[in-house]
A and B are shown apart, each in its own frame.
Chain A
Amino acid sequence: MDFVNAIILLLNYIIVPALSYGSQLALGAIFVTLIYGILRFANFATGDMMSFGTMFAVLLTWYFQSLGISLGVLPTALLTIPFAIIMMILYMLTIDKFVFSYYRMKKSPSVMLAMVSIGVMFVTQAIVRIIIGPFDRRFFDGERFILKANEFKEMTGLNEGLTIKSTQVLTIIITAIVVSILFWFLNKTKTGKSMRAYSDNEDLALLSGIDPKKVVMITWMIAGILATIGGVLYGLDKSFKPFTYFNNMLPIFAAAIVGGIGNPFGAFLGGYVIAFSEIFITYAYKKFFMYVLPESMEPNSLIQLLSTDYKFAVSFSILVIVLLFRPSGIFKGKVL
């Protein structure tokens, strides 16, 4: 019985939260990696673009709520995602037309484009804060929990409760759907293949008749979808605050690089690597060992490898280690 309790403990505090956090990171990391692989620059506006898309979802959710439209047990925000995606894609294409395309035509070095993306970051951040303000916004409605700790305890008779939030399940399911459609698109369709060819060898792709404008446009569209969905899922699970989104850029970058930048599958897994290591290393295992070990060996300290204050630092240290030993990432991306 103790062993089952220990497993439930891990599920409740490590595996479920890490899976949902990892999914949110994974969506962002695929966004970063696609932009890096096809448009060839590190996009420092990642976090703010995600907050831009989420902002529309938040505003529309409020509007729908005022109209009385809702999805019942599901959050209303799901209904607003398609509209938010459209706004996001329009914004991205506008930015690309007025800002990025000029440097792409001139074949500027990628550092230049990264600097330009910092300008875009400032502008996007300003727009988001001017429209919706810098404060914490909650826009979740519907059923909060699928499984509550008390119910679980009554159901199974175990000591440990298992809480599953509906947003966590939603995050995992939606990520799985989006990512599988994306991989199907990249691997099986002609457009997807042309994108991969363009990422692999630009000149050769151009020679074989691939239209660069179309590739760039589709990349931004996919990026818009990923950014908005990732942002909305994160906002539903925690809350929407522009500053947090800006900060999330850092673990997202870490995930993309750890997975091998330019490699979407690597980025997907990288998100989970970062999320799991952050939570694994900062979790206090005292209770776990109390269940597993016999009473005489019970630990009296917290058995925590690092305090939770260092949550961010963990993912960055992993990044440094990966950079040292495998600069191209765990799953071979572009060699940098």
Chain B
Amino acid sequence: MKQYANVVTAYLIMIGLIILVGVFQSWNIALAILNFCLISAVMTMGANIQWGYAGLINFGIMGFTALGGLAAVLISVPPVKEAWQVGGLSMLFCLVIIVLIVFSVRYVLKNFKNAKRKNIYVAAIIIAGLIILRIISGPAIDSIEAVEPAKTGFLGGLGLPIIFSWIAGAFFAAGLAYIIGKIALGLRADYLAIATLLISEIVIAVIKHEDWLARGVKNVIGLKRPVPYEVDLQSEQWFINLVAKWNSGTLDLISTTTEKQAALAQLVIESSSVFVKLCYSGLFIIVVAILLIVTQKALYSPWGRMMRAIRDNEEAANAMGKNVVKQHLLIFVLGSAIVGIAGAMMVTHDGLFTPGSYRPLRYTFLIWVMVIIGGSGNNFGAVLGGFAVWFLWIEAAPIALFLINFFTHSLAETNAFKLHLIESVPYFRFLMMGIGLLLIMRYRPKGILPEKIIKQ
């Protein structure tokens, strides 16, 4: 038990901080922070599997997150029948052509020995395939996008409950990770970082500009929810009773019935959004718990030991007969799949998909700050990093405002310097992240909760 003491204290401090926000700001904000902390925790677990277990740098987290989000749209939105009628067949045909291209390229790569000729054939197949795709898809895309462009203008999805998208998102991300892994995993570490960063930008560019797929920058809003809507809750009798019972102390103090009714109505509105957020928190905690158990088991299994061996000395592991390339690909796919789950969870929580908002700073570098600060190689550390950094990211503005006011209290309210500082409060979060990362890397390079090797 003693070895877990610091883990438990760190988590208790974190929970205490969130409760403090609940008490001093509002429970709504506290729960919003908690939900995003949980989503960030899933992302950091994905990145931690790749970096902490195997030493692979994946700077493409943004791309996998976006693919998870795309899955949420494609699973939950009901299909747009008109769009399918005007262009569905051609798009399916395009899919068949893509599959054909892939298989013919594979066939050429396998069966031709002459390297120069092989490259020419592959290039010819791809270029010819792309031209055919353009010719077939062009008019189909135009007609799909012309179907009620203000509301739909895309093929829509399957119309299933959105919760399935968490699994589909994992598969989407895993598929992309497989392709990237095949291309780029042979590269050295910092090269892999740059390559994945750039590939994730390509993914975002495609999602942003292929309007027939998920409306692109026009965004998809009003996605279905796995939890009840606030408006429905507010009219449910059991919920009103519950709120009345919960707040009976404060309600009893009010004497007149009309005022009591008004206060109760206000409380119901407030608690309904808290209740919805609590439902999300419950769902997310289940995901985080399952992932924690599985990753923790994996880490201390023979497979986990093998991964650490490969990370610490690739050549030695290779000499022991471990297939390094295959294991790297496997772990890259697994980690990315977890990030995909997080992406789907995030879109589910927000209820909207906005491809324009995916930026590398927020979705790649911030996640990496979380992994490094939390402790790479330690799942509890990664989760804690997700919590701590997200908390700081949100609460940085109030903290910075407080600090500025504290240090400039001698200056007049209208002082230009002070006003300028207060105006730029939102950017202090970057400063805090940067300094936090630099300090941790300098004085505690293994993170808040370092990796623990349990010797059997």
Contact = CB atoms under 8 A, between A and B. Distances in A.
B435 interface: yes
Interface residues of A, number: 45
A243 to B, nearest CB: 8
A142 to B, nearest CB: 29
A117 to B, nearest CB: 10
B434 interface: yes
Nearest to A327: B187
A109 B189 CA distance: 10
By DSSP majority rule, is chain A's interface helix, strand, loop, or mixed? helix
B202 A317 contact: yes
A111 B57 contact: yes
A127 interface: yes
Q: Which of B184, B430, B433 has the most chain A CB atoms inside 10 A of its CB?
A: B430
By DSSP majority rule, is chain B's interface helix, strand, loop, or mixed? helix
A8 interface: no
B331 interface: no
A312 B205 contact: yes
B363 to A, nearest CB: 14
A297 interface: no
Interface string A232-276: 000000000000001000100110010000000000000000000
B205 A257 contact: no
B202 A126 contact: no
Contacts of A134: 427
Interface in A194-237: none
Nearest to B439: A119
Interface stretch (B77-85, B318-326, B364-372): B364-372
B441 A320 contact: no
Contacts of B197: 250, 253
Interface string A107-131: 0011110111011111111110110
Contact of B202 (A116, A130, A313): A313
Contacts of A323: 183-184, 187, 191, 195
B261 interface: no
A95 to B, nearest CB: 10
Interface in B182-233: 183-184, 186-191, 193-195, 197-199, 201-202, 205-206, 208-209
A118 B368 contact: yes
B408 interface: no
The 3 closest A-B pairs by CB, nearest first: A122-B434, A123-B434, A126-B431
9 contacts: A42-B191, A115-B372, A115-B441, A118-B437, A122-B437, A125-B361, A130-B421, A323-B187, A336-B190
Given A115-B368, A122-B437, A130-B424, 19 more contacts: A111-B57, A111-B189, A114-B57, A114-B193, A118-B368, A118-B369, A119-B441, A120-B438, A123-B434, A123-B438, A126-B428, A246-B361, A257-B191, A309-B208, A313-B201, A313-B205, A316-B202, A323-B183, A327-B186
